Amino acid sequence: MTDRLKFNSSFLPNTINNYVIVDSTEGLFLGEIFENKASRKNIFEMSVIADEKSNDYYELSIDTISLMAKDSDKFHLAGFKTLGLTDKVYLATDAAYKLFLNSLEFMGGDEEPLPPFATFINKSTAKVSLKASTLFNRHVMCVGATNSGKSTTALAILDKVISTKRKALIIDPTGEYRDAFSDEEITKLTLGVDTTINPGKVSMQQWEKLFETKSNSEGAVLAEAITSLRYMKKIGEDTFYAKVGEDIDEIQENLASVGRNDLDFNLNLLPEQIQAESVSEPDRDNNYNFKYRYDMLKANANNNLIQKIAYQMTNTRFLSFFSNDPSMYNLLDVIDEFLHTPDVSLYIDTSELGAAEGIGGMVIDLISSFVIGEDDIYPFVFFIDEVHRYAKSKYSEKEFHGGLTLLAREGRKKGIFLYLTTQNPKDVSPVLFGQIGTLLIHRLMLNDEIRAVESHLDDYAIKHVRKLNQGEVILSSVNLLHNMFIHVDKCDRIQHNMTPHL
Ligand SMILES: Nc1ncnc2c1ncn2[C@@H]1O[C@H](COP(=O)(O)OP(=O)(O)O)[C@@H](O)[C@H]1O
Ligand SMILES: [Mg+2]
């Protein structure tokens, strides 16, 4: 076992994690050595062959990974089949190992694989070319610490998806891929700069997400204020709706006249309108003439919400995103066209809208709810970088992921395959995480992050997640026979992700 000359230099027979072939009555087993022990305490004593005594022995523990049945030329899961005591064990050559790598995928039939985007790390330096269905058909999540190479891996994979004319919808919260693809390859939108949306298309829950309403009462005030602004738009007034001193019945009647189609309003007026909602009914008397009066308590309570909204509005891109300006692209129209056109991809840069969590979460929710509602779409990969940005709000109990979770559950049937990246898998809802069948695991440092992906890894892989270099990935999937250890080949597209030097 110490004689290494006979073997390839990548092969260390005196260590663990070597592969062996076991010739058994069931067929050929491929096994992995996970423990290597000697019977003497001091193993140096045993290095001299001549000194070997009859009762000295090595103990190698083998884990059977897969089985090539007698009538097959591919490895399959070993199932309940197991080894016999007198079976002969051989060291697996590189050729046997490559055959195993070729058997790892059991999905997709004779589907053409994607061009290779990585090389194997251990044992073989073969290229990794996977079928698109292996990678995407149970949704992919890429986890890893900052700077571990998640975005680089994503670009390497998206490059293969797009250059083979498959469809992708890319949401980029930092703008780092803005120059990665040419205008001929992909339609590019920058929200708030060349792309706008009709505020009427945004649901009340989405407004609540956007402004991160803290409580039900804040949500109610926001809803009331938006209804008032819709009424003003409907009657063609360009001011907010003042309520102090106005007749209560009349106002109620006016607001009730706002129909399902009167959705448009002027977002600019929202802070003032919320201020104007700080009214209450006076005590009932016998005049039957009730007018709203100013309510100091409500005004104080609304102040926080007004501040938050006013702050969001200091970002001019934010206002132009909701301006519904007809000279700009309309987000949902472009997405609609993308969904129903074969072979095209769409890139959406959200970085100009500001770093606030609310806006990103709302945009994702809006797009998710929109695409899940469409029928007869062409299948596509829905890529969201740094999905933790859209995670649960710090301020509210509400989940941002409603739309995304729905996509994860129901999207597969329509051909929508998620590809998410995040630093901490705990940042996404457990329901969403539970839908993920394929994980690309980069270096993870913190115990609680490792614990979150633990169930996808064996002991050997768990020990190695802290030691992975930039670009090294453990690929674990329900569509694979065994975890793959791969190094992603950086693709030569432009990516703006350099950390500046101090
Ligand atoms: N496979 C790789 N090969 C070479 N360099 C890589 C690879 N993956 C990442 N890097 C380098 O590591 C740095 C961080 O990568 P990045 O993808 O931005 O990490 P993350 O998105 O996880 O924060 C970049 O400078 C990138 O060039
Ligand atoms: Mg990144």
pLDDT tens sequence for the chain (502 residues) = 455 555 555 555 567 777 889 999 889 999 888 887 777 666 565 555 555 566 667 788 888 888 998 888 888 888 888 888 889 988 887 778 778 878 888 766 778 889 999 988 866 577 888 889 889 989 999 999 999 999 999 999 999 999 999 999 999 988 999 999 999 999 999 999 999 998 888 888 888 888 888 888 889 999 999 999 999 999 999 999 999 988 888 999 999 999 888 888 999 999 999 999 999 887 776 666 688 889 999 999 999 999 989 988 888 888 899 988 899 999 999 999 999 999 999 999 998 887 666 788 888 888 998 999 999 999 999 999 988 877 655 544 555 567 888 899 999 899 999 999 998 888 788 888 889 999 999 999 999 889 989 888 888 889 889 999 999 999 999 988 888 889 999 999 999 887 778 8
Q: Which domain holds residue 33?
A: 19-103
| Pocket perturbation via mutation, ligand 1, pick of 470, 489, 493 by most ligand atoms within 8 A of CB | 470
Phi, psi of 133 (to 5 degrees): -70, -30
Query: 217 Cβ partners below 8 Å, 6+ apart?
Result: 301
With a 6 Å cutoff on the Cβ, whether 469 touches ligand 1 is no
From 315, 348, 376, give the residue that closes a domain.
315
In a domain, 11, yes or no: no
Same domain, 372 and 426: yes
pLDDT attached to residue 145 = 92
Q: Letter for the amino acid at 192?
A: G
> Is 110 a member of any domain?
no
Query: What is the C-alpha to C-alpha distance for residues 7 and 96, in angstroms, rounded to an integer?
Result: 13
Q: How many domains are contained in the chain?
A: 3
Residue 168 lies in a domain: yes
> 388 and 298 in one domain?
no
- Measuring CA to CA, how many Å separate 248 from each of 284, 285, 406? 12, 14, 41
Give, in order, the Cα–Cα distances in Å from 241 to each of 247, 251, 252, 272. Answer: 13, 10, 12, 9
**367 and 295 belong to one structural domain:** no
Tell whether 162 and 205 lie within a shared domain.
no
Instruction: Output the pLDDT for position 242.
Output: 94
> Are residues 335 and 472 located together in one domain of the fold?
yes
State in Å: Cα 440 to ligand 2 middle: 14
Q: Are residues 367 and 300 in the same domain?
A: no
Say whether both 336 and 276 belong to one domain. no
Asked, for residue 353, whether it belongs to a domain, the answer is: yes
**Residue 135 Cα distances to 67, 389, 416, angstroms:** 23, 24, 13
In a domain, 236, yes or no: yes
From the CB of 422, is ligand 1 less than 6 Å away? no
CATH number of the CATH domain containing 174:
3.40.50.300
- Regarding whether 298 and 212 lie in a shared domain, the answer is yes
Q: Name the residue at shortest CA distance from atom 2 of ligand 1.
A: 471
Both 44 and 186 in a single domain? no
- End position of a domain, from candidates 280, 315, 350: 315
The answer to whether residues 484 and 365 belong to one domain is yes
Tell me, using a 6 A CB cutoff, whether residue 119 lines ligand 1. no
In a domain, 111, yes or no: no
Kindly list the distances between the CA atom of residue 343 and the CA atoms of 116, 186, 370, in Å, as whole numbers in the listed order.
Answer: 20, 10, 20
Based on the fold, state whether residues 311 and 398 are members of the same structural domain: no
Query: Both 328 and 310 in a single domain?
Result: no
Residue 422 Cα to ligand 2 midpoint, Å, equals: 9
Residue 502 located in a structural domain: no
- Domain assignment present for residue 120? The answer is no
Q: Which atom of ligand 1 is nearest to the CA of 146?
A: 23
The closest alpha carbon to 307, from 395, 205, 192, belongs to 395
Last residue of a domain, one of 315, 345, 368: 315
